[in-house]
Structure 1
Amino acid sequence: MKSHLLVLSTLSLALAACGGGGSGDGSSSSTSTQANGSSGAATGGANPASLNAAGNSTAKLSCASPATSAGSGSATISADTPSADGTRIFAAGSTFQLAFTTNAPSADTLNWAVTDTLGNAVASGSTPVASGSQSITFSCTSTLAGYFAATGTLARNGGQLPQAGTRPVGIATFGVTPNLSGVIPAVSYARQEQHRFGMQGANDNGPLLAALGISSTIDDRQLSAMEPNGRNTFNPSANNLDPFYQSGNVMRLIRLDGIPAWASSTGAFQDDTGVPTDLAYYQNYMSRVGTESNAIRSAYFPTQSANYYQVTWEPNQMWTDTDANFVALYKSVYQGIHSTDPHAVVMGPADAFPSLTTTRLKRLAPLGFGQYIDGVATHGYYDAGTSPSHPPERYDADPSTADSSLRGQMRALRSEMATDYRTGMHLFSTEAGISYDIGSAYGPNYPSANVLYAQAAVAARMHIITLGEGADQTYVFYGADYPGEVGYGTFFDLSDPQGAYGATNISPKPVAMAISAMTHTLDGTTTLGPVNGTPNGVYAYAFQQVGNGAVITALWAHNNNVWSASAGFSPTYSVPYSLSVDAPGTSGTVKVIDMMGNASTINYSNGTLALNLTESPVYVVSNNASLAKGNATTPVGYVGM
């Protein structure tokens, strides 16, 4: 779909705002707030008071009294949370620096705060600053997970944090990854590809991928990439592997589309607009890719049972040749790869929407296309305006257009795979992301906090639906903001106001931390399917950890009437819902994880957990697998990894 080719939530666990304005009298104070809605202050800030979170959590964010020194810079006030790895994301419980620089013409007071995704203050305070350039550095820790925005101003001289690249004025953002070690049981992976999340746009950025819980990226093996200037220049025995992959931590989805000018029927580079001039040679080239890939898997990914190849990339935008030639292209790739890689899974066609992939599969089935694919790849966009105002459930409120929702499109795709191809085929969604709304632009006052919240909620829901309706893996799009398509980044680019490919000076958006919470919760699961009998506007998908482990149910509510760019995206709209988590007559507790990865222990009775669902997804961790399986519908043809 893309031209480049390339909170917190629902159980009334909202964080309450806390005080801490400066008096200008030379004192220093700070507060930390937890999830039960009260606050405390400690003069001097060395031992800030704190509050217990809901349930049995003691999660908090706190900052000690600052160290002050001479600074540098010209802005009235600026702030940063630098990290050694460049992500500005920190492990829960680790120590990090919140550093302000001020330039006051006379002695003043810095009033600062840290807010969460919904704008609730989780820490705040005030501290005196001298005139001139001053550096005020707080040492902070947080066991509260999620996205945070630091803000600050001077009591007498005002000012706000300046715009930085695609990040608007007023904020300096950072993230804290969830620690769910005592909430989500550890998973024992029989095969590495049982990990479920990939990503585009952050290749080689190991710390970022780890923070976001990403296990796979796309590795180029197109003819145009490996033999751009002529035949037989790709040697599969040479060391062509990006050293990043040699740790074996991040798997490769092997990308095959792209014909160089010398092999193209047009005499110019083409991204598979038609077949190359010599399909026999193309098959030979693919046999060498298979040789290399099989050797790489054996050497670096010994617990990965197969190599996964994607042949074409959004042919709905690219392909101008005949359907017969499309099948011929796949035949040459399939036979070439399989001649040397006994563990190959050749996938396609990877159209932009699941519905477009379904249409192509239907049309190509009579031509024998099924002989030349082992699995199906699609991109997970569901309309041309995938954005906060166009959520994946947008059409579901109208039964006559429900099939156009992401849920409807995924169900139709799974059905087509089982009908005209075969059951048990793997399905990957290899690109899907949420932009800002069409027509928007980066600027000092855009995006707003409300837009950033909505992007996070919609992106998480999109990937949950994709997995819950039968995809084995789903790939997050994109790394940092880039030019031309506004807002797809999960990170701000802090250097370029329009974004730049390969940005390294970045800070997270709420969507990054919502993705992190989702991956840390749902990775290593198999899909049980949509929960049966949910009322209109309530969405629930059940998963189970591989090896017959814990049940994890993702739930949220959506109402089109409270969700628009013009009226705002409501974080407070709620719907009561009761989820069956155990046998009737039983009582006990389950863990509930919010959109940012914060867990609470909640009581249930008579086998039922009472929830108050909002537009932010939550995850319920329970143990009665037989009940969960009986209450969910397995997607057609889905068998898992």
Structure 2
Amino acid sequence: MTAAPHADRVAWSIRDQLGHVYVHGDFAVPAGAQTTTLSCTSTASGYFAISASLTHDGAALPSAGTRPQGIATFGILPDLSGVIPAVTYKHQDQHRFGLQGFNGWTAMLTKLGVSRVIDDRQLSVTEPKGPNTWTSSRAQLSASFKSGAIMRLVRLDGIPAWASPTGAFQDDAYAPKDLDYYRQYMARVGAETEAIRQAYFPTQRNNYYQVTWEPNWKDSSANFVALYKAVYTGLHSTDPNAVVMGTTSPDPGECSWCTSGFLRRHASLGLGNYIDGVATHAYYGPHPSSSEPPEQYDTDRDPAKAAKALDRQMRALRAQMQAIKPNMPLWSTELSIGYDPGAAYGPNYPSDNQLYAQAAVATRAHLIVLGEGAQVTYFFFGADFPKEIGFGTFFDIVDAQGSYTPKAVSPKPEAMAFAAMTRIIDGTQTLGRLNGLPQTAYGYAFQQLGGGAVITALWTHNNANWPTPAGSYSPTSSMTYSLKVDNAGTNGTVTVLDMMGNPYTVGYVNGTVKLTLTESPIYVVSKNASVMSAQVTAPVGYAGQ
């Protein structure tokens, strides 16, 4: 719709996350309000931004919420039905992707390829005023869960004032003052959860619970374990399929407040007796952003700094888990990549380059999480919100500072990269990280359930080029890498998918395909699983989906 002050022409174009213009044109408009419809077709999938401006007047598309001026955005989902074979899921909980922030948005979650969200059963939510005031009601269950399409991770942290030893609400700092009542409450939650599973998720093997959430623990270590014991015994008394997980600290690695560190500190007190799996948030620094990618410290000569790299943190966590209780499941229930530090929502921010960089870094981070042995990873957050600038996967196109409950959204490149990743990686087992990679190359191999296709995710990251000396994030800096995909002496072709799921064919010779790697991940689809398994290191304790 235009509202030109006088007769004018509209110049328009459609470009992708790399700035490539796919199509452009112009058309005449009269003065006043005018609606013009254009018809475009495309074989490409991914993120697209429409730009439009009046040729003579200069007016352009205004900003909308957290989306900057000059663009409107949309996405085209990849159709990979002819590229990647369909997977048969024996159990619904073999799916690998969750999301925080779009509870109840069933259609959006499905389009993104997301099959899990978080459902609140904190005592502070269900019984904020006093004990024995919550009665489970199936009528209150979200329509997303009743559809059977979106599974639940049951959140348990949060102590109301009446149950808190401090006399005030607290979240993950102290054990409740009456642990026996807490155990009884958890038994009610377990009974409800199993009833919901039987009614709506009959092929889901287990029910999953997250006990604490980024604990800022001030109570004793003994009481931390006592809290887990109360939750564990309560849930297992009524839910034979319970998987009780913690400690869900912000970073996965080995430090005083990291998940691995929490596990190690409490292992001697018996914490391993009261968990069935581990949940973590997979942050790797104070503000994961385009300027702080997960691989930033991998090449650092200081071992303490190198340990901060996300892949190394995940390995440390897996090793600590194995020492406590072998082969436990591992979930990352939150990981987001924000805009660069100091950013603010506004009509001229973010730039195209910032949006591209966010998508590339976020996609790599979640691939590292899965490749290093997490069964499940959760995207964060649905749309932009005020607290952490740019952490949304979508623009909020109503509220200029974003909202936790958006009314309308518009995709960023990150959203469409996630939609491609779910279609490519969901339905796989992790084989492991590739061995013998060059210093700036990264790669993880996966195989479809049932012994299907092999999918290898690869990219390069070089701190010298991120950002470039000019301060931008280069989409073109690259390296060549030869990947073995078949037996020696064989020739053939593989399908390669770009970050947005667009396929192309590459030939291989003598079992090896030559690839160009950039900061945007690619996915190589091949068939010879034995060849790929011989060149990867499987994550410690990863027992499949």
Kept after mapping to 2: 8 A contact 1:334/1:346? yes
Partner residue, 2:267: 365
- 1:164 paired residue among 64, 77, 99: 64
Check if 1:449 corresponds to 2:317.
no
For residue 524 of structure 1, what is the amino acid of its counterpart? G
1: CA distance, partners of 2:388 / 2:327: 36
Partner residue, 1:404: 308
Alignment of structure 1 residues 314-463 onto 2, 5 Å: 314-315=214-215, 318-355=216-253, 356-400=258-302, 401-419=305-323, 421-463=324-366
Range 206-215 or range 322-331, more displaced: 206-215
Structure 1 residue 399: Cα displacement: 4.0
Alignment of structure 1 residues 170-209 onto 2, 5 Å: 170-209=70-109
Partner residue, 1:46: none
Partner residue, 1:622: 526
Identical positions, percent = 59
Structure 1 residue 422: Cα displacement: 2.0
Change in Cα spacing, 1:266 to 1:542, as seen in structure 2 (3 Å) is: same
2: CA distance, partners of 1:223 / 1:129: 59
Partner residue, 2:401: 498
Check if 1:284 corresponds to 2:198.
no
- 1:251 paired residue among 131, 138, 151: 151
Alignment of structure 1 residues 582-593 onto 2, 5 Å: 582-593=486-497
Alignment of structure 1 residues 438-587 onto 2, 5 Å: 438-564=341-467, 567-587=471-491
Deviations 1:160-216 (A, max 9, x none): 111111111111011111100111110011111110000001111112211211010
Partner residue, 2:199: 299
Kept after mapping to 2: 8 A contact 1:307/1:344? yes
Kept after mapping to 1: 8 A contact 2:338/2:389? yes
- 2:4 paired residue among 104, 111, 114: 104
Which runs of no fewer than 5 residues in structure 2 stay unpaired? Answer: none
Structure 1 residue 110: Cα displacement: 1.1
SS in 2 for 1:354: coil
Range 456-465 or range 206-215, more displaced: 206-215
Which runs of no fewer than 5 residues in structure 1 stay unpaired? Answer: 1-100
Structure 1 residue 139: Cα displacement: 2.9
Kept after mapping to 2: 8 A contact 1:236/1:291? no
Structure 1 residue 238: Cα displacement: 5.2
Structure 1 residue 241: Cα displacement: 2.0
Kept after mapping to 2: 8 A contact 1:204/1:244? yes
Structure of greater Rg? 1
Structure 1 residue 307: Cα displacement: 0.1
1: CA distance, partners of 2:397 / 2:158: 32
Kept after mapping to 1: 8 A contact 2:481/2:516? yes
- 1:146 paired residue among 27, 46, 58: 46
Deviations 1:69-107 (A, max 9, x none): xxxxxxxxxxxxxxxxxxxxxxxxxxxxxxxx2222222
Runs of 4+ in 1 over 6 A off after TM superposition: none
Check if 1:308 corresponds to 2:208.
yes
Partner residue, 1:235: 135
SS in 1 for 2:38: strand
Kept after mapping to 1: 8 A contact 2:172/2:214? no
Kept after mapping to 2: 8 A contact 1:423/1:638? no
Kept after mapping to 1: 8 A contact 2:353/2:473? yes
SS in 2 for 1:137: coil
2: CA distance, partners of 1:243 / 1:519: 23
Structure 1 residue 477: Cα displacement: 0.3
2: CA distance, partners of 1:252 / 1:123: 42
SS in 2 for 1:540: strand
Deviations 1:84-142 (A, max 9, x none): xxxxxxxxxxxxxxxxx222222221111000001111111111111111111223333
Structure 1 residue 354: Cα displacement: 0.3
1: CA distance, partners of 2:10 / 2:187: 64
Range 131-140 or range 474-483, more displaced: 131-140
Range 427-436 or range 265-274, more displaced: 265-274
Range 225-234 or range 306-315, more displaced: 225-234
Partner residue, 2:116: 216
RMSD between superposed Cα atoms in Å: 1.1
Structure 1 residue 613: Cα displacement: 0.3
Structure 1 residue 600: Cα displacement: 1.0
Kept after mapping to 2: 8 A contact 1:217/1:251? yes
2: CA distance, partners of 1:254 / 1:481: 24
- TM-score under structure 1 length normalisation: 0.83
For residue 528 of structure 1, what is the amino acid of its counterpart? L
SS in 2 for 1:139: coil
- 1:636 paired residue among 534, 540, 545: 540
2: CA distance, partners of 1:164 / 1:177: 23
Deviations 1:528-565 (A, max 9, x none): 00011111000000000111111000000001111138
Partner residue, 1:275: 175
2: CA distance, partners of 1:571 / 1:554: 17
Structure 1 residue 443: Cα displacement: 1.0
SS in 1 for 2:185: helix
For residue 298 of structure 2, what is the amino acid of its counterpart? D
Count matched residues: 538
For residue 488 of structure 2, what is the amino acid of its counterpart? P
Range 362-371 or range 597-606, more displaced: 597-606
For residue 2 of structure 2, what is the amino acid of its counterpart? T
